[in-house]
Structure 1
Amino acid sequence: MKNNNEWGSNLAFILAMIGSAVGLGNIWRYPYVLYSNGGGAFYIPYIIAILVLAIPFTILEYGVGYNFKSSFTKAIIKINPKLEYFGWILPVAVFIMTIYYSTIIGWDGIYFFLSFFKGWGANPNAFLTNTVLHPTDSLGGIFHFLPFVAISMLVGWFIIWLVSHKNLDDGLGKVCKIFVPILFITMIIIVLFSLTLPGAIIGLKELFEPDLSLLWDFNIWLAAFGQIFFSLSLGIGAGFTYASYTKKDIDLITSGLYVVIANSLFENFAALGIFSVLGYMSLQSGTPIPNIVSEGVTLIFVIYPQVFNILGVISLILAPLFFFTVYVAGITSMLSAFEVLSISIQNKFNMSRKKATTILVIVGALTSMIYATSCGEYILTITDSFINNFVIILCVIIECILFAWVFKAERLINFLNSKSQSLKLGKWWLILIKYIIPILLCIIWIGGINKLIATATNEYLLVIAILVAILLICSLIFTLLKPKSENWFKTEERIK
């Protein structure tokens, strides 16, 4: 009988993990981080972050997830039954992240539709502000509903339901097999074309010009580790969950290396395209690149439409390709985050995959409507900062302690090495996951908290207080509800 929660092949697992890692952060966040943190010099801390943080922690998540072959929450109970409350905090936090992620996908869905006829007009900046977002920098715009944004977001949620409610390999596995290669192919087409634009070399020189003096600035190291953490979606439970669905012959170490390398190649390749475009814009307008470059919403929904306006007929092909690429990157990442809470609910309440995903999609879609208001971008910014700079990093620190110390990660070494055709684990790996990574993440966490406090207004703190209450209360409810599965407290381990 086919297991509804198992990958049909190891390739499906690898593509799903690449789809989870490759997201919006690779396209709009990384190029700006690279540029603003020393250009070519940034690669020194960036590569060290990959070696010290990304690869070791990815292998740890995969190994523990494979061992328990269950949801993150159920595995935490197996490690220590008294920690079920913590086992729900991470899935609930990731679901909150999924909800606001749907907003960005909704914005991109609008622009994908507009890209076929350049519906953003001659002034993309004014269009984004006055027609799409109507942004406010306070909660005062919460009663100004944005119907087109809402409709686009609901389409995204329907796609999530369409994929997630099916058996794992028939839904998520099939989507990743088709769309992850398309994601890379379309990005290659866009970047190769961007490199041919007049002035592309101007942007590339600006991007890669190394400022070695910044290597003595602690912030560049924090930026590198933060970027790796963000772009690979470390610690959100997706790697743990996806690895639990793998077959017995999986080479988890090599799979982890493939995911990390693919993610790094994608975001660096995307940076080539974006700065080639910025170089072209600089040449055409006579404006220095530092006055053009920006991050986030402006980069995707203002600068690119400006370029497509200039390019002429070819943009009627390139523009849909670009926004389709962004959409696929967002959907595949959202699918992986959605899965974390879904499988935990299935496990505890003995719920079918279809029922659990349907309930979560309805709850997520209705809750996400708060972002389809004029203060949606404002709330999104606060929520994103809170979840990524506080909750997720703190959860990963606790994960390192639980997985490396309480579970005893050394139990995984012989099994992982026996399957690996590449890297072999040893004491170096244990030193990294037991000592180096928790210490580094504590530093990043403290830095994030300091930044949060330094920029917080009373209204900002109010939103965070509401988020904390939602996170803690929902996690408590899931903990206190009586399990309907007889096997909730029984978890077999693959690795003895």
Structure 2
Amino acid sequence: MSQPRLSEAHHPRPQWRSRMGFILAAIGSAVGLGNIWRFSYLCYENGGGAFLIPYFTALFVVGIPLMILELGIGHRMRGSAPMAMATVNRRWEWLGWFAVLIVMYGIMLYYSTVIAWCLNYVFYSFNLAWGDDPNSFFFKEFLQMAEKPFDMGDVRMPILTSLAAVWFFSWLIVFFGIQKGVELANKIFMPMLLSLILILVFWSVSLEGAGKGIAVYLKPDFSKLGQRKIWIDAFSQIFFTLSLGFGIMIAYASYLPKKVDIVKDALIISLGNSAFSFIAGFAVFGTLGYMAHATGVPVTEVVSETIGLAFVSYPKAISLMPAFSNVFGVVFFA
């Protein structure tokens, strides 16, 4: 194995201002839309509480060990994924570039677009612009999806404008560097995100009929454990939600001080991410339980897959609320 690069002697690498700043940034890169939408739906689809068995198996067998490995590589090699892999062995440099250019580029395009949708829906929540038919509003009015795959539609200016705002804000954070950009942003927004989720949870579980939704979310069906799908979904969710293989954790760890407890930090990041996913599920299914109660149908009839859950089912549930529905919408999409 090659030694770490000596350029740090002449150009000291910036470091995180505090350990808490690093942990919040790492959790912030791991916690995302998949924690709120995808985890909840996978629990529902894969036997409710029974899904937690393969999920935590994947977390402790694969997730935490790989988190320790990625943090260890970044901390030891003091560089981004391409530099770190090249330092280990020059022939492996392409693995780092693959993570940065292919994986991260694809994730960036997907996530920034969905965040832009959420930004639009924050403003739509003020007057519940989706009306009585959130499905038609989302697919036909907001996205204006074409009927055929290769049909080219018009540019959607609301989406383009919000997407430009998302990209500009992301660039601004990176421009200010590790301490004044990434660390400061996560110290501000991560506590805000946690506060908003806790508000949503307490609000959702207090709604009439919320208990039925939560029962669907957690009631175990252990017969599902014999199916291959539940294990594939659990392991894929761990890779996706912990940002493993994306190069993010390697880059973040390269800015850590020389003396740091990598194992302890990996445990905090991984378990914190999983706790966030589990808690957020109460907000999602508590609201869906209320929606089922208000419309007089079973909870299973109001649950839809990830994107539909956020932009169709949830807006419909928000519209049914007797009071403060627009406030609930703003908090959820923010």
Per the TM superposition, whether the score is higher than 0.5 is yes
- How far 1:137 sits from its partner (Å)? 5.8
1:25 aligns with 2:34: yes
Larger deviation, residues 96-105 vs 64-73: 96-105
Counterpart CA distance in 2 for 1:199 and 1:139 is 40
Alignment match, 1:205:
215
Alignment match, 2:298:
288
Alignment match, 1:44:
53
Larger deviation, residues 166-175 vs 74-83: 74-83
1:12-411 equivalence runs, <5 A: 12-93=21-102, 94-136=104-146, 138-324=148-334
Which amino acid in 2 is paired with 1:317? V
Alignment match, 1:493:
none
Counterpart CA distance in 2 for 1:9 and 1:78 is 27
- How far 1:96 sits from its partner (Å)? 2.8
- How far 1:4 sits from its partner (Å)? 6.7
- How far 1:275 sits from its partner (Å)? 0.9
C-alpha contact (below 8 Å) 2:96/2:247 kept by paired residues: no
Q: Could you tell me the percent identity over the aligned residues?
A: 38
- 1:225-283 per-residue CA deviation (whole Å, 9 max, x = no partner) reads 11111111111111111001111232111111111111111111111111111111111
Counterpart CA distance in 2 for 1:54 and 1:171 is 27
> For structure 2, which runs of at least 5 residues remain unmatched after alignment?
1-9
- 1:420-456 per-residue CA deviation (whole Å, 9 max, x = no partner) reads xxxxxxxxxxxxxxxxxxxxxxxxxxxxxxxxxxxxx
Counterpart CA distance in 2 for 1:2 and 1:200 is 56
Which amino acid in 2 is paired with 1:175? A
Which amino acid in 1 is paired with 2:83? K
- How far 1:80 sits from its partner (Å)? 1.8
C-alpha contact (below 8 Å) 1:199/1:282 kept by paired residues: yes
- 1:49-72 per-residue CA deviation (whole Å, 9 max, x = no partner) reads 111011111001001110001111
Counterpart CA distance in 2 for 1:80 and 1:202 is 54
The structure-2 alpha-carbon separation of the partners of 1:246 and 1:34, relative to structure 1 and needing over 3 Å to count, comes to same
- How far 1:2 sits from its partner (Å)? 10
Which amino acid in 1 is paired with 2:56? I
- 1:102-156 per-residue CA deviation (whole Å, 9 max, x = no partner) reads 1111111100111122222222111112211111364423353212111110010
Counterpart CA distance in 1 for 2:327 and 2:11 is 41
C-alpha contact (below 8 Å) 1:10/1:247 kept by paired residues: no
Alignment match, 2:5:
none
What's the secondary structure of 1:247's corresponding residue? coil
Alignment match, 1:424:
none
Which amino acid in 2 is paired with 1:39? G
C-alpha contact (below 8 Å) 1:9/1:247 kept by paired residues: no
What's the secondary structure of 1:255's corresponding residue? helix
TM-score by length of 1: 0.63
Counterpart CA distance in 1 for 2:12 and 2:204 is 44
Q: Which runs of 4+ in 1 moved over 6 A?
A: none
- 1:288-340 per-residue CA deviation (whole Å, 9 max, x = no partner) reads 1121111222111112211221214412322111111xxxxxxxxxxxxxxxx
C-alpha contact (below 8 Å) 1:73/1:84 kept by paired residues: yes
Counterpart CA distance in 2 for 1:139 and 1:59 is 42
- 1:347-377 per-residue CA deviation (whole Å, 9 max, x = no partner) reads xxxxxxxxxxxxxxxxxxxxxxxxxxxxxxx
C-alpha contact (below 8 Å) 1:198/1:283 kept by paired residues: yes
The structure-2 alpha-carbon separation of the partners of 1:107 and 1:55, relative to structure 1 and needing over 3 Å to count, comes to same
C-alpha contact (below 8 Å) 1:39/1:209 kept by paired residues: yes
Counterpart CA distance in 2 for 1:143 and 1:279 is 37
- How far 1:14 sits from its partner (Å)? 0.3
Which amino acid in 2 is paired with 1:282? A
RMSD: 1.7
The structure-2 alpha-carbon separation of the partners of 1:143 and 1:310, relative to structure 1 and needing over 3 Å to count, comes to closer
Which amino acid in 2 is paired with 1:10? R
- 1:11-62 per-residue CA deviation (whole Å, 9 max, x = no partner) reads 1110000101100001110111001101111111111111101111100100
What's the secondary structure of 1:46's corresponding residue? helix
What's the secondary structure of 2:238's corresponding residue? helix
C-alpha contact (below 8 Å) 2:291/2:320 kept by paired residues: no
Which amino acid in 1 is paired with 2:88? I
What's the secondary structure of 1:119's corresponding residue? coil
What's the secondary structure of 1:168's corresponding residue? helix
Counterpart CA distance in 2 for 1:177 and 1:286 is 43
> For structure 1, which runs of at least 5 residues remain unmatched after alignment?
325-496
Counterpart CA distance in 2 for 1:320 and 1:123 is 19
Which amino acid in 2 is paired with 1:77? A
Alignment match, 1:437:
none
